[in-house]
A and B are shown apart, each in its own frame.
Chain A
Amino acid sequence: MGRRGFLLTAWPWRAAGYLLSTVPVVLTVGLPPVLLGLPPFLAVAPDATLGEWAFLAVLGALLVAGLGPMATIPLARLERRRLRLVDLRSTGSGHRRPPGRGVVPWLRTRYAESATWRELGYFLLLAATTPVLYAALVSALVLQLCAIAAPLILLGGDGPMALGPVEVATPAAALPYALAALVLLPAVPYLLALTSGAQAALARALLQRGSGERLQAELVEVARSRARLVDAFEAERRRIERDLHDGAQQRLLSLTMKLGLARVDLPSGSAAAASVADAHQEAKQLMTELRELVHGIHPRVLTDRGLAAALGELADRSPLAVTVAADLPARPPRHVESTAYFAAAEALTNAAKHSGADRAGVAARWDDGVLTLEIIDGGAGGADPGRGTGLTGLADRVAVIDGRLLVSSPAGGPTRVRVELPCDLNRPPSG
């Protein structure tokens, strides 16, 4: 509105449209209660006692509160759409999604949330203020038009006419008022914009979701997108592992085998045999390195055989003597499996590096929707998650899937890392 050239934009027209279209809305909200309420009111009015008045007031309030939302919820949706006429910012509904299908969950949600009652308040306010406000606005506009037209009307000789508080009788007397009204003409769009702006501000304040609701919705969205990211990350790791396994690893194996074959065929002691032997050795070294790399990205045994087998393999790779007790009736979802696996790997690495233990135990079990993984080492204890011994990263990983990481590591040991991951188990594969 403060911009230059405001008068030449579509905004004055949009403001006028907004104000004009408010009228049917207010009529829709206001007329039914008035039409329904007036006859009993008139019937009772003449000789009503205070108690009867109070009774009527309570009854009316109950009716408005009980039935009002049925009308205002759809009307509020209309109002949010209409708000776009004068407000380009997006307007989200503050309503929550009902927990189930059907009428009852819907009613229960709607009548229990603040958005519904804010909407009802908005329409009550609108119905109470707009008639007065609009009457004043329309009178002012009519007065202005009359003032402009007054000299012409008086030229026609229709006697004295009233321009608000003053009365003019001749065109000459009317001329100053007409000039003043003409000068004030450009102010009309501003007046319309101001009114519609105030009304839009009211609508925005009461009809869209509040900051708490917005924050909650954003949190839910952030949590969801975080879970999606983790899933995508997991899928990507598996894809890279598969590509390397099917591609580079297979080709390298085949190449190394050919070098091995060439070695057999070359006369031993020749220069060629020596270089091929070198090449063969290097290729074998590369095979080992690539295998370790691929294993670190995502262990194949975890994909193929599941968590219990992968934990067994992890135990075999550890420099500690690790006992594994995994009792899982079926396989958890993939991202849970790999979180559990990498948590165990991290905990065992820590145990081997820092605890001074020579043995450790890993236990995995599933109980009532929670996969619990426990890693205990017989070391000196004193592990501190705050000192960044990899435990922080572990906690982050676990938190992403709504799990918990508990570390107990008293001085003197033992260190106990417990990971709880909520999940459902997949049904065991049928074939």
Chain B
Amino acid sequence: MRSEPTAVRVVLAEDGVLLREGLAGLLARFAFDVVAAVGDAAALRAAVAEHRPDLVITDIRMPPDFSDEGLRAAVELRHADPDLAVVALSQYVELSYAADLLDSGAGRRVGYLLKDRVVDVADFVAALRQVVGGGTVVDPQVIRQLITRRRDPLAELSPREHEVLMLIAEGHSNAAIARRLVVTDATVGKHVRSILAKLDLPQTEDTHRRVLAVLAYLRGRPANPQPR
């Protein structure tokens, strides 16, 4: 764990100048230390090598080819340093992008969010903090798609359990879920146990481990409960 009192040091990569400046301002406002703000993947690699940041926030689509340069750079950086926290911002939901990220560094300290999420400033910053703290954050839109694609095995969940499952998969703790749904922690705990039982997933109170298990399940692959 990096020490708490020092500000989180961030390298930001985004090719749109307007959004890059805006994001840098937003991060500064919430006491992140933006050590570099760059406009393409090569500059991102160089900045990470130079500054050794705590968090990388990168656009997926960047020059020169405008395909998935940012994503590939992020995956590479995490292979070199699995503890590096990375949040990738995407213009649209692309499950393969999310999968590439989750498969790097055992799925910890990683976030995949739609670009539009930055406008809900508080939620966005909370997601960043969660990733820096070792968590996994996946955009609700991605979860929704995963759940749609796994319609059949999820049919036995109640509507409420569906809702709770989405929030688990997005990376929220029991307490956060309870706040959102305006119910007690105990109720959430009951739902969570029921869901995990129905999906045949290991019962665990560890939010991080739980989200990885649920994501693995939604992606239709065997859960890997032992992170590295």
Q: List residues of chain B with CB within 8 A of the CB of A287.
A: 116, 119
B122 proximal to A (CB < 8 A): yes
Bound Cα distance from A251 to B17, whole angstroms? 10
Task: Determine if B151 and A321 form an interchain contact, defined as CB atoms under 8 angstroms apart.
Answer: yes
B226 at the interface (CB under 8 A from A): no
Task: Collect the chain B residues with CB atoms within 8 Å of residue A245's CB.
Answer: 91
A256 touches B148 (CB 8 A): no
- Does A280 make an interface contact (CB < 8 A)? yes
- B175 close to A (CB within 8 Å): no
Q: Find chain B residues with CB under 8 A from A259 CB.
A: 119
- B65 close to A (CB within 8 Å): yes
B206 at the A/B interface (Cβ < 8 Å)? Answer: no
Smallest beta-carbon distance A241→chain B, Å: 12
Q: Does A422 contact B (CB under 8 A)?
A: no
Name the B residues within 8 Å of A300 (CB-CB): 91-92
**Is B200 located at the chain interface by the 8 A CB criterion?**
no
Cross-interface CB contact of B22 among A246, A254, A301, cutoff 8 Å: A254
CB distance A313 to B92 under 8 Å? yes
1/0 per residue, CB under 8 A from A, across B89-108: the answer is 00111111000000000000
CB pair A264 B121 closer than 8 Å: yes
Chain A residues within 8 Å of chain B by Cβ, number: 30
A291 touching B116, Cβ below 8 Å: yes
Q: Is the CB of B61 within 8 A of A250?
A: no
Which partner residue on chain A sits nearest B141 by CB separation? A316
What 0/1 readout, one digit per residue, does chain B (1-39) give for beta carbons within 8 Å of chain A? 000000000000000101100110110010000000000
Contact call A309/B120, Cβ cutoff below 8 A: no
Closest B residue to A312 by CB, please name it: B95
* Assembly CA distance A265 to B122 (angstroms): 11
The interface residues of chain B lying within 8 Å CB-to-CB of A280 are 119
The smallest beta-carbon distance between A295 and chain B, in angstroms, is: 8
B92 to chain A, nearest CB (A): 5
How does the 8 Å CB contact mask read for B136-150 relative to A, with 1 for contact and 0 for none?
000000001100110
Residues A260 and B19 in contact in the complex (CB < 8 Å), given A300-B91, A301-B92, A431-B65: no
Interface string of A300-337 (1 = CB under 8 A from B): 11001100010011001000010000000000000000
B26 touches A316 (CB 8 A): no
A316-B145 contact in complex given A260-B119, A283-B119, C-beta closer than 8 Å = yes
Interface secondary structure of A, over-half rule: helix
- Residues in A with CB closer than 8 Å to B145 are 316
Q: Is A263's CB within 8 Å of the partner chain B?
A: yes
Q: Are A284 and B119 in contact (CB under 8 A)?
A: yes
Residues of chain A within 8 A of B115, CB atoms compared: 253
B194 interfacial contact with A, CB 8 Å:
no
Looking at the complex, which one of B19, B65, B95 makes contact with A254 (CB distance below 8 Å)? B19
Residues of A close to B184: CB separation below 8 A? none
Quick one: CB contact mask for A237-248 with B, threshold 8 Å, 1 for yes? 000000001100
Please give the distance in Å from B118's CB to the nearest CB on chain A: 5
B122 and A264 within 8 A (CB): yes
Per-position contact with A for B69-88: 1 when CB-CB < 8 Å, else 0?
Answer: 00000000000000000000
Indicate if the CB atoms of A321 and B19 lie closer than 8 Å.
Answer: no
Nearest chain B CB to A263 CB, angstrom units? 7
A312 to B66 alpha-carbon distance, docked (Å): 20
The CA-CA distance from A431 to B68 in the complex, in Å, is 11
Question: Using Cβ atoms and an 8 Å threshold, which residues of chain B touch A251?
Answer: 18
Q: Which residues of A contact B116 (CB under 8 A)?
A: 253, 287, 291
Confirm or deny: B67 has a beta carbon within 8 angstroms of a beta carbon on chain A: yes
A304 closest partner in B (C-beta): B67
Closest residue to B119 on the A side, CB-wise? Answer: A256
Residues of B within 8 A of A305 (CB): 67, 94
Select B119's contact among A257, A265, A312, beta carbons within 8 Å. A257
Q: Nearest Cβ distance between residue A114 and chain B, in whole angstroms?
A: 53
A17 to chain B, nearest CB (A): 65
Known: A260-B118, A260-B120, A287-B116. 20 other contacts (CB 8 A): A245-B91, A250-B18, A251-B18, A253-B119, A256-B119, A257-B118, A261-B121, A280-B119, A300-B92, A304-B66, A305-B67, A309-B94, A309-B96, A313-B92, A316-B93, A316-B148, A316-B149, A321-B148, A321-B151, A431-B65
The chain B residues found within 8 Å of chain A, CB to CB, are 16, 18-19, 22-23, 25-26, 29, 61, 65-68, 91-96, 115-116, 118-122, 144-145, 148-149, 151
For the complex of A and B, list the 7 residue pairs with the smallest distance between their C-beta atoms, beginning with the closest: A260-B121, A256-B119, A254-B18, A316-B145, A254-B22, A260-B119, A257-B119
Q: List, sorted by A's number, 29 A–B pairs whose CB atoms are closer than 8 Å.
A: A246-B16, A250-B16, A251-B18, A253-B19, A253-B116, A253-B118, A254-B18, A254-B22, A256-B119, A257-B22, A258-B22, A260-B122, A261-B25, A261-B26, A265-B29, A284-B119, A287-B116, A291-B116, A300-B92, A304-B61, A304-B67, A305-B94, A309-B94, A309-B96, A316-B93, A316-B144, A316-B148, A316-B149, A431-B65
